[in-house]
Amino acid sequence: MADQSVVLFSYGTLRQREVQLAVFGRELSGTPDRLPGYRLSLLEITDPHVVEVSGATHHPILEATGDPADVVEGTALRVTEDELTAADAYEVDDYERALVPLASGLRGWVYAAHHRPAGT
């Protein structure tokens, strides 16, 4: 039986080959997509493991605005449920995983700041 895949929308380090190999043990395939109603800011990362894997002390983080004019470009990655759990372990506590509608019409998981706009 094949693993069911889910969509993980990535706009940051999970698109990097080195991070994918470290977190998932393989390179992921994906397609360009967009997420309306959000904007990016930078988050300082203090977890030494995440800094080592990503090579960066600051990572982008999504902030919900609820304004459809705000759009974040990224990649809709296909992952298994187990890989989604591995991504949860990689992301620091400042990120929260949420299921969101993408511009393509897909629904995907995304890691964003803990707050969401009203009505979502």
Domains of the chain, by residue range, sit at: 5-113
**How does residue 4 score in pLDDT terms, banded at 50, 70 and 90?**
confident
Average pLDDT in the 5-23 region?
93
pLDDT, residue 117, reads 45
Q: Which two tokens stand for residue 80?
A: 């298994």
When mean pLDDT is compared across 1-15, 82-96, 101-115, the lowest value belongs to 1-15
Domain 5-113: assigned CATH number? 3.10.490.10
Angular region, 14: left φ>0, alpha ψ -120 to 50, beta rest: alpha
pLDDT in tens, 55-66: 777 778 888 898
Q: In terms of pLDDT, which residue wins out, 95 or 3? A: 95
Average pLDDT in the 51-75 region?
87
Task: Report the predicted TM-score, pTM, of the whole model to 2 decimal places.
Answer: 0.80
Please give, one letter per residue, the 3-state secondary structure of 29-57. Answer: CEEEEEEECEEEEEEECCCHHHHHHHCCC
pLDDT, residue 3, reads 60
pLDDT, residue 59, reads 79
